[in-house]
């Protein structure tokens, strides 16, 4: 898929919750380790579901990560011998992350980004649309709809077992207790016009 090259590029792994995005990042990280490439893993500090210093898949596989508040903080960790930067949950960063990612690729780094491409409303999530637009490679994963078993491309937020209202806050950190994967036809957002 990727030719061996001396220039940077951006690859994105996206999809709904429970599609295996972090698991795919962990698989790619394992390949970096086998290839003995120097890499760093970053995550937004707002995502503390499984702790502050790891990215963790829903099936509990993990890798150490640097938790950051501001996208520009990534620059503080970049060294001349670094080859790859991995960023998980990119949708939770502000729009500065777009320029950071682009700059890192321009400097010759491979940048691997994971994140939700849509919020619970079914709309593009945070900086992800722009990141997808500047990426050289995109892997869009699907989950399995919890209602129908069809491919799920949406994330359903549930409040007390019922679909969240369109006007609820965009960010609500959670896992299986608050979210489930849904197909387009079974995704419900009361209050959406």
Residues 34-51 have pLDDT tens digits of: 999 999 999 998 876 656
Using alpha carbons, select from 71, 89, 69, 77 the residue that is nearest to residue 25: 89
As a whole number, mean pLDDT of residues 83-98 equals 96
As a whole number, mean pLDDT of residues 136-142 equals 97
pLDDT score for 133: 98
pLDDT-derived band at 171, boundaries 50, 70, 90: confident
pLDDT score for 1: 47
Residues 6 or more apart whose CB falls under 8 angstroms from that of 110 comprise: 2, 8, 9, 11, 83, 84, 85
Instruction: Please tell me which residue in 89, 123, 177, 180 is annotated as part of the active site.
Output: 89
pLDDT score for 175: 64
Ordered by start, the domain boundaries in the chain are 9-141
In the predicted structure, residue 174 carries a pLDDT above the cut 80: no
Residue 188 catalytic? no
Fold adopted by 9-141 = Rossmann fold (3.40.50)
């Amino acid at each position: 898929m990727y030719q061996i090259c001396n220039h940077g590029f951006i690859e994105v792994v996206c999809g709904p919750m429970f599609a295996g995005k972090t698991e795919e990042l962990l698989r790619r990280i394992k390949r970096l380790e086998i290839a003995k490439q120097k890499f760093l893993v970053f995550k937004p500090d707002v995502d503390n579901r499984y702790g502050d210093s790891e990215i963790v898949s829903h099936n509990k596989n993990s890798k150490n990560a640097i938790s950051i508040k501001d996208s520009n903080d990534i620059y503080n960790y970049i060294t001349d011998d670094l080859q790859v930067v991995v960023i998980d949950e990119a949708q939770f960063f502000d729009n500065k992350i777009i320029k950071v990612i682009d700059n890192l690729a321009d400097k010759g780094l491979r940048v691997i980004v994971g994140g939700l491409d849509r919020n619970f409303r079914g709309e593009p999530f945070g900086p992800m649309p722009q990141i997808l637009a500047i990426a050289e490679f995109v892997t869009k994963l699907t989950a399995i709809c919890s209602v129908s078993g069809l491919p799920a491309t949406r994330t359903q937020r549930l409040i007390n077992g019922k679909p969240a209202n369109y006007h609820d806050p965009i960010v609500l950190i959670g896992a299986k207790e608050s979210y489930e994967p849904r197909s387009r036809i079974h995704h419900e957002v009361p209050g959406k016009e």
